[in-house]
Every structure is written in C-alpha cells, then in structure tokens.
Amino acid sequence: MAKLEFISKFTDSLTSALTVKILSFFAFTIVLTAIISSQNFFFQNIIENGISKRDIIAQKTLIVEDVKRTEQHKKEVAQKIDPIMAPAEDDFIKGNLQTLQSSIMQIRRKDVDVSVKKEEIGILFDLSDNSKRDFVINYLLKADDNSLHEVFDKSSLILTNILNAGITEKDYEKDNIDTLILNNLVSNVSRRQVSVITALLEQVIVPNLVVDEFATEIARKNAQNSVKPYEVVFQKGDKILFEGEPVTRLKRDALRQAGYNVYELNWQGLAAIYIIVFIATSLFLGFMKFFEKEYLEPRYLSLSAVLAILLATIGVMLPVGFSPYVLPVPVFLMLMSIFTNPRIALVASIMLLSVMVVGYQYNIQFIVTFIMLTIFSVILMSQIKYARRADLIKIGFNISAAGIVIVFSIYLLEKCLIDVDNVLILKDISFIFLNGIVSSIITLGSLPLFESTFKIITSYGLAEFGDHNQKLLKRLQIDAPGTYHHSLMVSNLCEAAAEAIGADPILARVGALYHDVGKLKRPLFFVENQSYFLIENPHNKFTPRISKMIITAHPKDGIEYAKKYHLPQVIQNFILQHHGEGLASYFYNQAVKEEGAENVKEEQFRYAGPKPNTKETAILMIADAVESAVRSLKNPTPEEIEAMINKIIIERLNDGQLSDSPLTLKDIKTIASTFSRILRGMQHNRIKYQENLAEELQKQKINMPVKLIDEDLENKIKQLEGEKKSEETPKTDEGKNA
C-alpha cells in the first residue's frame, strides 16, 4: 500500500502544473541548445585534432589581427613606461626643519654646563663622522645668533629648492642626499656653513615623491592602446589553411571571418551555449511575468518556442559561409507581433538574435542590421490596423527598403577600411531585399496554420469572422432578422467604445455580432423578431418561469451553434458572458405579481453566467442592454438617452455584474459618453420633405454655391411653387358645383 501511495504521489507531482512548466522550460532550452550546437559539426568536418583536413580558400579579402603578436608588443610598450610620481606633503618636511631649529635655540639658552648642551644637541643629530659631528655641535653652540639665523635661513631656502625638484625613493636609497644639497646650495655660503647646513638637512629630508599607481596604470593602458595591431591580409583566392597545417589562433580568426563556426564541440562549449540560452529564455519569461502577464499562457509560450526553434533550425541549415541575411527574422517578428503584441515581439527577437549571433558566430554587421530592422518593424507593426492583409505586404516592402539602406551603409563604411568585393555587397543587398518581401508572404500564408494549431485567433482571423457572408451570420439574417439588426447596432457601439478606452475594437465588434446567435434556436420567442414576422407574443401563453427558461437558455444554445460553426473560444466568451449572472427582471416581476414575493427568489430568474471578465465582454453587456432600452423609447431626447445609459450602468454596477471585469471607473465614464454620442446620431429626427420641400430649398438657395443648384432643380422648385399657389387660389362657384 505504501509503495502504491508513493507511486501515486510521484505521478501527481509529475502532472502538476508547476512541474509541467519546469519540464517544458528545460525541454525548450535543451532543444534550442542542441540545434545551435549542431552547427559546430561543420568545424569538425574541416579540422581534426587541431590539423586542417583540406585546403580552405578565402572567398573575399580578409584582414585578420594577429592577436598574439599584438599582445606581446603591448606588454613590451607598457613595461617601458616609467612610474608616474606624485608630490607628498612638503609642509611636513619643512615643519621638521623648523622644529629642529627651535630645539637648537632652546638648548643654547639653557643655563647648564656646556657638556650637557653638547650632549643634548648630539641627540638631535645622527652623524657617523665624529669629527664632523663635533664641528657641527660646537658651531651650533658657539656661533652668534646672527650667524646661526643666517645658516637657518639658507637651510630653509635650500630645502625648498630640493623639495621643488623632488626626492624619489630611488634618490633616497642611493644615499646621495649630500649631493642633492650641494647641487642646490645658494650663493654666499661659506665652507663652515655648508657642513652645518648639510647636517641640518640630512636630519629632515625624506622622499616627497611617491608612485601614483593609478596614473601609472592609465599611462601604460594609453601606451598599449596606441599600439597598432599586427594585421595579416588574406586576398581573395589565397589559401587560409593548407591540408595538414596546424590551426593557430590567427587561422581560427581568419576562418571565423570567412564564415566558419570555429567552436569545437566539447562539453565546455555545450555548457556555455546552454547557459546563454538559459539566461536569454529566463529574461524573456521574466519580461512576460512583469509586463505582459496576460500572455503567459501555454498556447502563447508554445507558439513562441516553436517559432524560435524553426528560426534556429533554418540558421543551422544554411551552408557554411552563406549570407545570414537570408534568415527569415522578419517572419518571426511579424508572427510574434500578430499573435501577441509588438513589445513581446521586440524582446523575443532581441533575445533570439543574441543567442544565434553567439552560437553561430555571425559578424557584428548581422546583429546591427537585424536589431535595427527589428525596432523599425515593431514600429510598423504597432501602427497596423489589421483591416487588410495587404498591409503586411506593404510592411514587407518597407522592411526590405530599410534593410537595403542599413546593409549598404555598413558596407560603405567597410570600403573605407578594407577592400570589399562589390559582388558580395550586391548579393547581401539582394538577400535583405528579398528577405522582407518573402517574409511578409510567408507570414500571410502561415497565419491560418498557426491559428488552427495553437487555437489563437488573431485580428486577421477575427476580421474574417466579422464578414457578414459567414454562414452563421447569413443564417441569423434570414431566420432572425430582428436579432441580426440588433447585433449590428450593438457591434457599432462596442467597436467605438473599445477604441475609446484602448481595448480591442475588432474583437469587440465581432464578438457583438455573434453574441445572440443562440436565439436562432427559437427566434420567434424574442420580441425583436416578432414584429418582423407579424406574430403575437407567444410568452402571453406561458408562465413567467417557462418564459424565463426559454429566454435565459439562448447563451447556452449559442455555444452549441458556436461549436457547430467552429467559432473560436474568444468569441464563445461573448456568447456566454453578455448577460453575466443578470436578472431576467421582466419575468421576475411577472412571477412576483402572480405568485407573491415570498414564493419567488431572484436566483431562480438569473442567467447562468459567468460574469464578463474582459473589457470587451463587459462593454458588450452594457451595449446590449443600452441598445434595447433606447430602442424602446419613442423619439427620445439626448437627455433621456443619457439618463437611460446611466441608469443601466448603475444597475449593472449595483448588481455586481462588472465585478470581474478590468474596467475602471474612468473607462465606464468614457463608454457612457461614447454610447450617448452614437445613439444620439442613430435617433436623429427626420424632415417632412413632401410638404415644405419648395420652401426649404428656397430658404437654403441663398446659402448654396451656385454650382450646387442646377437648372433642372430650379425648374422643379418653380413647378412646386406654382402648384402650391394654385391650391391656395379661392375656388369659383363653378368649381364648387363641380
């Protein structure tokens, strides 16, 4: 039993949602790594154990840097740069001299024996030469004050000169302080003073220049950067490698420029590629989680993974050295933009391009070109309205034109530096031109395939369902014309309101067209169709409870029709949610009158739901009720229309029917004003043209441009005026008798 319980828990853990997500993540990263790494076999086909298996000839002029020689030269140049010295605190050294002089003067003034003074002054000096030491001490004690101050002043001046010139550690270590002092002696210094000055300065002088490590390092870096790289040129037709030749770093770099992938297939390389794929995939999912959470669904993620794997596979299948500008990157971008949104497409494209550039070792020109094209394409895709499929072809042409400009500009710059074959430039420009156009055609052709595979309805698919020649809509026109007309009015309201608040106007319009298809099952039980067929209301013969069951069943009946005619889930949501869990108030009130309030519960007369959970379905709930209510008014004024709209919205809010929708109060206010504007236009008054046509035209004639009133119209006006006058002439007695 314990074993069975363990197996059951283990099975449940494998089938849990979190486990499936984790396994899917690792499966995708492993598959993408395997695809990208598979191109490394191309290098194995020409190199074995570091030895070339065949001759490899340059197809274009290659300029390759000899990195090894360049680095060696940079090291030699850096070593020749002397350390940069920075001055230390000179005031500290000068202060030591002042302190020494003050100490000497204090000892001279003491009222003690001369031998004591000599001993104390001797402590201040560290002189190895005893004769010099005795001479200096005797001079400092016996010289008069003027002579001594003169020595002190000259010592300070000499010290200043020495410090200004600078003393390094090397100068100090070489023990050439005496030489420095002698070289900086001022004029009028006697030989006796020289000995004393030298003794004084030897006690205080220390290095005042230290090595500035930071400045020295910068100087060495600048010297290294000034070194021109050693370059080796392979002309077109030259052999990059001979058969049997060892593959050095220089030759590897040349092969990379020639278009060969020079990664060796080993565990280290595989791990590196997997880490890059892992990071790129994690960054993409992180972006989705924080900025586009609504698209973190398996169908959208599966579509993204399939498109990425397809593009990576095409990159692997390209022959070695073939232009990467044929890669259908625009297809990936356009499909991602259509099925998700341009922001997601931009991030996904950049992540995938980064992985492919690293894995396939494409040149920098490739990544620059396609990143710029990606941003350009995202801007174009964000402006498209998905009304016509031909707009995608136009975008393809625009991408091609932009690609030509970018590629040509890059090659124009390269021609200033190296000799680039004109045939190569023409080929790449042709490839990028065809890439944009062919990508748009592939995108158009593959849209239905991806829509059906991943059960994602795009704006193009929605536009097709919005065609009034669709079988289900045609049936609605014939079997339930009143319902069809009502749906048309509601779809106009929904589309305008959705556009006003930033929702999806196409989805709102198409969903509104189909929201009442369930009424096809019993069209004569709905009031809008009864007047068309001129029949009596059949609900007059039923109890309120039976009528309620018939009316509230139309969302469920609509789902049956939706499945039969293969309507996508996103449209089915409109059918189910457009009444939410609202109350069938007419039949509820009838039941209360007939059965008594104590015998009737509101729950018995509510729709099954669910409540609207998107902006578009919430708009439909309001529009459906508003259109029906306003249509029931006879010649309503703008104030009456606005009051009716506000009344219905407040009822839905108080009943909690909009609690699951993401509509804000600002959105609801905008929706109400949009409905009011459109309904006022639908309810405009008509002019009675038959009675006062002549008068109205005559009044307007003076305000009309001359060209708008032709001769035939003037004759008609005169004829009408004549008829009116004849009618107003009093009849004769003969006429009366007649």
- Of 456, 485, 505, the residue at which a domain comes to its end is 456
**What are the tokens at 256?**
């990379």
539: CATH:
1.10.3210
Average pLDDT over residues 241-254: 77
531: pLDDT confidence band, cut at 50, 70 and 90? Answer: confident
Asked if 282 and 33 count as a contact pair (C-beta separation under 8 A), the reply is no
At residue 265, the pLDDT reads 57
Same-domain pairing of 446 and 468:
no
Count of domains for the chain? 4
Instruction: Judge whether 622 and 678 are in contact, CB under 8 Å.
Output: no
- The answer to whether residue 222 sits within a structural domain is no
Minimum mean pLDDT among 151-165, 285-299, 435-449: which range?
Answer: 151-165
Tell me if 129 is assigned to some domain: yes
Quick one: tokens of 544? 């309120």
Name the least confident of 187-201, 288-302, 439-453, 638-652.
Answer: 187-201
Are 476 and 554 a contacting pair, CB within 8 Å? Answer: no
Q: What does pLDDT average to over the chain?
A: 82
Q: For residue 182, is pLDDT > 90?
A: no
Q: What CA–CA distance (Å, rounded) separates 653 from 398?
A: 47
| Alpha carbon distance 510, 33 (integer Å) | 42
Burial class (CB in 10 A: 0-12, 13-18, 19+), 400: buried
Residue 480 lies in a domain: yes
When pLDDT is cut at 50, 70 and 90, the band that residue 534 belongs to is: confident
Res 223 pLDDT > 60: yes
Pick the last residue of a domain from 456, 483, 516. Answer: 456
The tokens describing 523, both together, are 């069209």
Phi-psi region of 190 (alpha: psi -120 to 50; beta: other; left: phi over 0): beta
Q: How far apart are CA 410 and CA 256, in angstroms?
A: 19
Report which secondary-structure segment, H or E, holds 500. Answer: helix 481-501
**Mean pLDDT value of segment 298-323:** 88
pLDDT above 90 coverage of the chain, percent: 43
User: SS3 for 239?
Assistant: strand
- Reported as a single tens digit per residue, the pLDDT across 17-45 is 788 889 999 999 999 998 988 766 555 56
Report the pLDDT averaged over residues 530-542: 84
Q: Is residue 374 part of a domain?
A: yes
Q: Give mean pLDDT, residues 630-646.
A: 90
Characterise 60 by phi-psi region: left (phi > 0), alpha (psi -120 to 50), beta (else).
Answer: beta
Domain boundary (456, 486, 515) is at 456
Q: Are 159 and 97 in contact (CB under 8 A)?
A: yes
Tokens 């932009």 map to which residue?
A: 402
Q: What is the pLDDT of residue 80?
A: 79
Please state which of the ranges 431-435, 603-607, 705-709 shows the lowest mean pLDDT. Answer: 705-709
Q: Do 442 and 314 sit in the same domain of this protein?
A: yes
Say whether both 432 and 346 belong to one domain: yes
Summarised one tens digit per residue, pLDDT across range 643-683 is 999 999 999 999 999 999 999 999 999 999 999 999 988 76
- pLDDT at 151 (0 to 100): 80
Torsion sign (Cα): 338, 339, 340, 345 = negative
Are 724 and 622 found together in one domain? no
User: Average pLDDT for residues 67-71, to the nearest whole number?
Assistant: 80
Q: What is the DSSP string of 22-54?
A: HHHHHHHHHHHHHHHHGGGHHHHHHEETTEESS
- Phi, psi values for residue 26, rounded to 5°: -70, -35
pLDDT at 733: 40
Say whether pLDDT at 329 is over 90.
Answer: yes
Answer yes or no: is pLDDT of 600 > 60. yes
- Mean pLDDT, to the nearest integer, of 452-474? 90
Residue 697 has pLDDT above 70, yes or no: no
Give the integer Cα–Cα distance in Å for 316 and 265.
Answer: 15
Q: Based on the fold, state whether residues 187 and 295 are members of the same structural domain.
A: no
Residues spanned by the domain of 470: 462-682
- Report the range out of 226-235, 524-533, 684-693 with the highest average pLDDT: 524-533
Long-range CB contact pairs, 319-323, < 8 A, 24+? 320/42, 320/259, 320/260, 320/261, 321/59, 321/258, 321/259, 321/260, 322/259, 323/427, 323/428, 323/431
Q: Collect all residues with Cβ–Cβ distance below 8 Å to 618 and sequence separation of at least 6.
A: 612, 658, 661, 662, 663
Same structural domain, 188 and 264: no
DSSP state of 583: B
| One domain for residues 433 and 468 | no
Looking at the fold, whether 273 and 189 belong to one and the same domain comes out as: no
Q: How many angstroms separate the Cα of 305 from the Cα of each of 255, 297, 298, 373, 630?
A: 32, 12, 10, 21, 49
Helix (H) or strand (E) holding 643: helix 638-654
Position 76 in a domain: no
- 420 shares its domain with 484: no
Q: Answer whether the bond into residue 610 is a cis peptide, omega within 30°.
A: yes
- 10 Å CB burial of residue 626 (0-12, 13-18, 19+) is buried
Looking at the domain assignment, is residue 379 inside a domain?
A: yes
Q: How far apart are CA 672 and CA 336, in angstroms?
A: 34
Per residue in 679-696, pLDDT (tens digit) is 988 765 544 444 454 555
Positive or negative, the CA dihedral 380, 382, 383, 384 is: positive
Would you say residue 406 lies in a domain? yes
DSSP-assigned beta bridge partners for residue 606: 583
Same domain, 95 and 179: yes
Alpha-carbon torsion (310, 313, 318, 320), positive or negative:
positive
Do residues 178 and 203 make contact, with C-beta atoms less than 8 angstroms apart?
no
Has residue 221 been placed in a domain?
no
**In this predicted model, which residue has the larger pLDDT, 431 or 252?**
431
- Model confidence pTM above 0.85: no
Task: Please give the structure tokens belonging to residue 520.
Answer: 């096809």
- Which of the pair, 358 or 713, is modelled with greater confidence? 358
Do 500 and 549 fall into the same domain? yes
Residue 241 above 60 pLDDT?
yes
**Residue 496 and residue 543 in one domain:** yes
What is the arithmetic mean of pLDDT over 433-440?
95
Strand pairing of 62-65 and 231-234? antiparallel
Say if residue 74's pLDDT is above 90: no
